[in-house]
Amino acid sequence: MNLDYPITYIKGISVQRATLLYTELGIKTCNDLLNFFPFRYIDKTRFYQINELQPNSSEVQVVGKITQVKSVAQKRGSRLVATFQDASGSMELIWFKGQKWIKDSLKMNTPYVVYGKLNYYNGSYSIPHPEMELVTEYKKKLQTKMQPVYPSTEKLANSGISNKFIRTYIQNLLQQVYDGIQESLSVEIIDNFKLMQKRDALLNVHFPKSQENLAKAQYRLKFEELFFIQLHLVRKKLINKTKIKGFVFDTVGNNFNNFYKNHLPFDLTNAQKRVLKEIRKDLGSGAHMNRLLQGDVGSGKTIVALLTMLLAIDNGFQATIMAPTEILASQHFNAIAELTHDMMLTVELLTGSTKTKKRRAIHESLENGTLKILIGTHALLEDKVKFQNLGIAIIDEQHRFGVAQRSKLWMKNTIPPHILVMTATPIPRTLAMSVYGDLDISIIDELPPGRKEVKTVHRFDSNRLSVFKFLKDEIAKGRQVYLVYPLIQESEAMDYKDLMDGYESISREFPSPKYQISIVHGKMKPADKEYEMQRFVKGETQIMVATTVIEVGVNVPNASVMVIESAERFGLSQLHQLRGRVGRGADQSYCILLSSFKLSPEAKTRLKTMTETSDGFKIAEVDLKLRGPGNIMGTQQSGVLNLKIADVVKDSQILVLARNTAIDVLHKDPNLNAKENIFINKALTKMSKTSKIWSNIS
């Protein structure tokens, strides 16, 4: 039987059941069912004698015969009780439901295999509603002592498709297709890593004979899953490097040198110099640059982006930066306009709120080439925005843009511009390998000199008065303060109430005219939001009460304290981003995490992590362990790592091995045409057609 056939070809699966399995679990073909893996196993590796049983309410398996069946009256209704014996003693089997049907089906003095949860009461043992099978039937089956338990849903359970049914379907399928299951890895890989054969791995992951066999089967299938993802990514990267030609920026000209010598506000860190070197190498190679630049908040990514754009301009090209929000785009624009104001360079900002007249002027100067640097939001993607010759496109916080949006920016030229994607969300190594495996990665892993580490403390709500006193002391020194409230969209009304209640209590504690307060939240009009932000930026207000709209994009060096209310309701990366809003000036800065006493174990871990480290990569590793890969990448990327058996956190060692193996295979045989790679080539071609995951990656 062909594994691409629909599951209705399997004995026992009607069209109605097939529809349910597809809508509930996404299982459409025989191959889908074969790769639908158990999430746990019931270990039936041992048969107990009745006289060996211990009163510990575990699940046990016993072989014996039923010698007597009787109905026993109780307060409500009755129960069916069977006496079950083996050579060492006797116990009871009990049923409260379906008694007539069960009584009629039981065979007296015939050997049964019985399994269930053990009860101990008044010196004797019983198993309520046991799983039972005649020994003769048990011996006929594709026997497993460790029983697989598959993911299910309420709808399936209510429709009678139990775990036992799914097990039977997979058993029927395996009996039909086992001999025809094709290998997908080369003999060399299987021998090198002592991997189980594919057919045996599939058999043993569903019906393992032992813990050892199960471990070997899982390892083989995890390796294979990660290997093919890496093979796809590494191959894509090689094609980008060899097939897609890029503009050659071979001149380091007047703009770059003038800025570097005369306008650079501080010496570059070694990390910034290293990253610039990596970018310049790409831009001079004639291949298309596709690079991810990671750097913590405040590590100086904007300077690197600007120097890269100046290289493009020196070689006769235009440059653009696309940011996900108006606040962030404006911040980039202000920073770059200020850094280049003594240079003969035109820099413009294009967002949704740019006026029509200004917009027309930007479109015109962009097409005739007089506009060299354009910074903007999604507005850059409009069809009217046409560049004369775009040489480099920089995408900031790129995980906030969908794939289609990013590709639209690349299509602005007949030859795609070089791409630099930046993120201030540190990405753990294993995740970067999986999600951005087709990009080259640069990391700025040191902060500019003179930056003091932000002191972070956790305080409970009961310490609020001492926190307010501390804020007053800081304001008295001429500093400014942020107070941030959570924003969780499902309960916008509640969040708004929290924010307004907070604002009122802050207003009472910090009365005007001595104190001035700004307030910013998502329900405000952009113009009002901007007005309040500007008052704070100019120092007209000392306190900014806000929701997480200030997570990215407000740069106020004079702000030295960040108070995060209900800190237990924030994710780690959000807490880290918010903390990055302070510590931008020369003064010592502080981040105060306020929470209630009621904390879940995860919330405790998050708050403890924040107080112990300011290393974004360490924080990202903890976040990955707590939340899993899908959530970290944001909703657009959540389908990216929809893995069937592997886990990029727990299986990071297998991931590194799989990636190195993929690189090695493609290094020796880039097109996978060699005889030894025939199985790999076939499997990759087939997966590329059917896997949703690969169309989403980076």
Q: Which CATH number does the domain housing residue 82 bear?
A: 2.40.50.140
Q: Which residue among 97, 112, 143 closes a domain?
A: 143
Split at pLDDT 50, 70, 90, the class of 494 is low
Q: Are residues 472 and 391 in the same domain?
A: no
What is the pLDDT at residue 310? 96
Q: Are residues 359 and 460 in the same domain?
A: no
Is residue 345 in some structural domain? yes
CB contact set of 215 (below 8 Å; sequence gap of 6+): none
Structure tokens at 206: 């569903």
What is the pLDDT at residue 404? 63
What is the pLDDT at residue 273? 95
Give DSSP secondary structure letters for 297-343: TTS-HHHHHHHHHHHHHHTT-EEEEE-SSHHHHHHHHHHHHHHTTTS
> pLDDT per residue over 147-190, tens digit each?
899 999 989 888 888 888 999 999 999 999 999 999 999 999 99
Is residue 79 in some structural domain? yes
In this predicted structure, the answer to whether residue 490 has a pLDDT above a threshold of 50 is no
What is the pLDDT at residue 16? 93
Q: Are residues 342 and 387 in the same domain?
A: yes
In this predicted structure, the answer to whether residue 631 has a pLDDT above a threshold of 80 is no
Is residue 366 in some structural domain? yes
Q: Are residues 100 and 51 in the same domain?
A: yes
Q: Which residue among 613, 645, 666 closes a domain?
A: 613
Q: What gap in Å lies between CA 644 and CA 687, rounded to an integer? A: 13
Nearest CA to 84 among 96, 67, 72, 102? 67
What is the pLDDT at residue 695? 46
Q: DSSP H helical segments within 141-210, as ranges?
A: 154-158, 163-177, 187-192, 198-206
| Average pLDDT across the chain, whole number | 86
In this predicted structure, the answer to whether residue 86 has a pLDDT above a threshold of 90 is yes
Please give the average per-residue pLDDT across 287-311, as a whole number: 89
What is the pLDDT at residue 401? 62
Q: Are residues 388 and 274 in the same domain?
A: yes
Q: Are residues 579 and 531 in the same domain?
A: yes
What b/e readout covers 483-493, taking b as 16+ CB neighbours within 10 angstroms? Answer: bbbbbeeeeee
Is residue 637 in some structural domain? no
Is residue 541 in some structural domain? yes
Distances (CA, A) of 201 to 15, 34, 140, 184, 648: 29, 11, 22, 12, 20
Is residue 602 in some structural domain? yes
191/452: higher pLDDT: 191
Split at pLDDT 50, 70, 90, the class of 130 is very high
Is residue 223 in some structural domain? no
> pLDDT per residue over 563-605, tens digit each?
999 999 888 888 988 898 888 777 899 999 999 898 998 999 9
Asked whether the beta carbons of 322 and 380 are under 8 A apart, the reply is yes
State the residue for tokens 């209310």.
565
The number of distinct structural domains making up the chain is 3
Q: Are residues 462 and 326 in the same domain?
A: no
> What burial class does residue 90 get, using C-beta atoms within 10 Å of its C-beta: 0-12 exposed, 13-18 middle, 19+ buried?
middle
In this predicted structure, the answer to whether residue 635 has a pLDDT above a threshold of 60 is no
694/12: higher pLDDT: 12
What is the pLDDT at residue 399? 60
What is the pLDDT at residue 633? 46
What is the pLDDT at residue 132? 92
Split at pLDDT 50, 70, 90, the class of 630 is low
Structure tokens at 474: 């800081």
Please give the average per-residue pLDDT across 613-620, as a whole number: 83
CATH number of the domain enclosing 513: 3.40.50.300
Structure tokens at 224: 């294979």
Please give the average per-residue pLDDT across 7-26, as a whole number: 93
Q: Are residues 402 and 465 in the same domain?
A: no
What is the pLDDT at residue 548? 74
Q: Which residue among 97, 123, 143 closes a domain?
A: 143
498/596: higher pLDDT: 596
Q: Are residues 407 and 507 in the same domain?
A: no
Q: Are residues 605 and 479 in the same domain?
A: yes
Strand partners, 350: 376
- The one-letter code for the residue type at 564 is I
Q: What gap in Å lies between CA 330 and CA 483, rounded to an integer? A: 22
Handedness of CA 122, 123, 124, 127 (dihedral sign): positive
Please give the average per-residue pLDDT across 560-564, as a whole number: 94
pLDDT > 70 in the chain, percent = 91
In this predicted structure, the answer to whether residue 459 has a pLDDT above a threshold of 90 is yes
Please give the average per-residue pLDDT across 424-437, as a whole number: 72
What is the pLDDT at residue 632? 46
Q: Are residues 538 and 590 in the same domain?
A: yes
Is residue 587 in some structural domain? yes
Structure tokens at 259: 């800025």
What is the pLDDT at residue 182? 92
In this predicted structure, the answer to whether residue 417 has a pLDDT above a threshold of 50 is yes
What is the pLDDT at residue 151? 92
Q: Are residues 391 and 495 in the same domain?
A: no
Structure tokens at 503: 């604002």
Q: Domain range for residue 503?
A: 455-613
